[in-house]
Chain A
């Protein structure tokens, strides 16, 4: 299993930012997601976040909603998510699960952490789990030896940033803008400031996500952050592709463009 620590140490040695790609499990199919994520890794993604499809994704914009809806309609279950993690981790990329809290809560925190670790997963990102409610999950994750990534936002006060980073291991996820997931024409202007406000409170890498979708945007973000997170833009490529082969070629092309971007800082 490749750890986040290894990934960021290597990126730092190369004087570049890490590239983190997101795809939901079960989209377009379970096997299709593994194939797409593998293509993303081959073309330069250092870390893959596998989304756990959830019925009420209130932080996600239309693109991820569409993908998640299809994954759920296909009958994607948590066992499929674990299987996907296993397949992606086998490529050598550090593999995380991004999920809303309720599926973990229902599955059982200890059981989820244990199963994710056995599948080769390196940690989770939980966008709706606040520091106040995170105790159970952090304990279970520590016991299973996996990382816990939480989010800071442009609206976060210094006090909140401190509370959030104190719960993080692996890295800190800085949301670039006030809004839902989805590629935008411009990276949020608040992103750089948020990263700068976060740094004094933590020695962990700080990665920026939300609204990043092109090589130029990746280069811009790589100028001040340790990692660049891209989700909707990859999904868009798969949604727009005429068939599976075209989809794979398209995500590969985007990953290569972004990988070039994070090296251009």
Chain B
């Protein structure tokens, strides 16, 4: 590889670090797979086959790497936050600054990779779902960059809550379609995007935004997000001379978490902790505690943990953070949970907002509310692990988009 590159082919392909790349049916253990209409199977096969070629093609990896460096602003730095960490029993807390990427969140990594893949597939149109609008904005950005037509499906309720992001997407040339059926939020936007895809699959790629959905999306999105952990692992060794004791990340669909976890999965002494949105509390019924309170089922084409009732109907989730407000989760997290390699916890709206404000006041960094769940988790973790511990936190995005919520919450 030329000097200054971030990724090697092994980095992109996951390097088989734990021998658990999905099998031929796209399964991580019993999780994942494909539960979709037969009409979509050829398209999923096509995407999987092209991705297999792409990830072993040096020219593709170089182009992706080039965009990550010259467009997304990678590598992102690590920042140690000692004043924030005073609340964590003296443990050292180090942030991976995905908030500093172009568009302000880790989502850009995946969309650049998939936009390049779209071009390789010979398709001219991308569609995507979005909850808070971050994946929609990132997709619209990549589509503008590569000259692709772009349609974003967004729940009608979310369109209203995130009017600024709707305007950003429109400015970037995307068409935003408000989805007015079901609960009018992220899960319904995903349903609607699948409906579009099945009708337009000959010229359209579904640029999936998280590591959920049918195979091969969980694998592809993970591999493109994996750069977060690949960089961070190297940077931690440079900065602290050793690997962290724990890695903490927020989990909604799970892409930022898998992005930072994956490079550490082979490091058995590094604990992996995922923090789900506890909303108004585990007993309130208003949360997005898919891994910690849900049960195994099928949602959006994959077997995974799901918030569902006793007859398999999806239960609507709640979180103050739109990016974590999802009743499913990526199948690889389900697998990491059941194998015990990663541990998942809940963080309430109140705990997340407290960490949000604390990081702003003590370090001058306004985090996304999503990332604030990981920050709150790190505070608890630090007190458990003691003052010798080093905790790496994925600061997955910046909080500018959350100022409306913050103004209301804190009466600013």
Q: Which residues of A come within 8 Å of B, CB atoms?
A: 54-59, 61-62, 65, 69, 72, 77-78, 101-107, 127-130, 132-133, 150-157, 160, 164, 175, 178-180
| Of B37, B187, B298, the contact of A59 (CB 8 Å cutoff) | B37
A155 to B37, CA, bound (A): 11
Question: CA A54 – CA B35 in complex, angstroms?
Answer: 15
Cβ contact of B298, chosen from A61, A105, A160, cutoff 8 A: A105
In B25-77, the 8 Å CB interface with A consists of 25, 33-43
B201 within 8 Å of A by Cβ? yes
Q: Is the CB of B34 within 8 A of A130?
A: yes
Q: Are B38 and A153 in contact (CB under 8 A)?
A: yes
Cβ of B327 to closest chain A Cβ, rounded Å? 9
- Evaluate contact between A57 and B39: CB separation under 8 angstroms: no
Closest to A173 in B: B38
Q: Inside 8 A of B35's CB, which chain A residues have their CB?
A: 101-102, 128-130, 133
Chain B contacts of A106 at CB under 8 A?
295, 297, 308, 310-312
B299 touches A (CB below 8 Å): yes
- 29 of the cross-chain contacts (CB-CB < 8 Å) are A55-B314, A56-B182, A56-B188, A56-B191, A58-B36, A58-B190, A58-B300, A62-B181, A69-B181, A69-B182, A77-B311, A78-B311, A101-B298, A102-B299, A102-B306, A103-B312, A106-B295, A106-B308, A107-B311, A130-B38, A130-B41, A133-B33, A150-B38, A154-B39, A155-B41, A156-B39, A179-B195, A179-B198, A180-B198
Q: B215 to chain A: closest CB distance in Å? A: 10
Q: Are A156 and B308 in contact (CB under 8 A)?
A: no
A132 in contact with B312 (CB, 8 Å): no
Q: In the bound complex, what is the Cα–Cα distance between A160 and B43 (angstroms)?
A: 12
Q: Inside 8 A of B310's CB, which chain A residues have their CB?
A: 106
The interface centre, meaning the residue of A56, A77, A101 with most chain B CB atoms within 10 A of its CB, is A56
A183 to chain B, nearest CB (A): 15
Q: Which of A55, A105, A152 contacts B38 (CB 8 A)?
A: A152
- What residue in chain A is nearest B301 (Cβ atoms)? A128
What's the nearest-Cβ distance from chain B to residue A185, in Å?
15
Q: Which 7 A-B pairs have the closest CB atoms?
A: A106-B312, A153-B39, A179-B199, A103-B312, A102-B312, A102-B298, A55-B314
CB closest residue in chain A, given B310: A106
Closest beta carbon of chain A to B192's beta carbon, Å: 8
Q: Which of B191-235 contact A (CB under 8 A)?
A: 191, 194-195, 198-199, 201-202
Docked complex Cα distance between A51 and B59 (Å)? 49
B41 x A54 contact (CB < 8 A): no
Known: A58-B190, A77-B311, A101-B35. 20 other contacts (CB 8 A): A56-B182, A56-B187, A58-B36, A58-B37, A58-B195, A58-B300, A72-B313, A101-B298, A102-B35, A105-B297, A106-B308, A128-B298, A130-B34, A133-B25, A151-B39, A152-B38, A153-B37, A155-B42, A160-B38, A180-B199
Q: How far is the CA of A151 from the CA of B38 in the complex (A)?
A: 6
Contacts of B41 in A (CB 8 A): 130, 155-156, 160
Residues 60-98 of B, flagged 1 when their CB comes within 8 A of A and 0 if not, give: 000000000000000000000000000000000000000
Give CA–CA (A105, B298) in the complex, Å.
8
- CB atoms of A132 and B25 under 8 A apart: yes
A138–chain B nearest beta-carbon distance, Å: 15
Neighbouring A residues of B181 by C-beta, 8 Å: 62, 65, 69
Q: Which residues of B sit under 8 angstroms from A157, Cβ to Cβ?
A: 42
A residues within 8 A CB of B187? 56
Bound Cα distance A153, B41 (Å): 10
Find A178's partner among B33, B39, B300, B314 (CB 8 Å cutoff): B39
Measured between beta carbons, the chain B residues less than 8 angstroms from A175 are 37-39
By a CB distance below 8 angstroms, the chain B residues around A105 are 297-298, 312
Give the residues from 297 to 342 in chain B that come closer than 8 angstroms, CB to CB, to chain A: 297-301, 306, 308, 310-314
Check A160/B42 contact, CB under 8 A, given A128-B35, A153-B37, A178-B199. yes
Q: Check if A132 sits within 8 Å of B34, measured CB to CB.
A: yes
What A residues does B34 contact at CB under 8 A?
130, 132-133
A136 vs chain B, min Cβ distance (A): 12
User: Are A58 and B298 neighbours in the complex by a CB distance under 8 Å?
Assistant: no
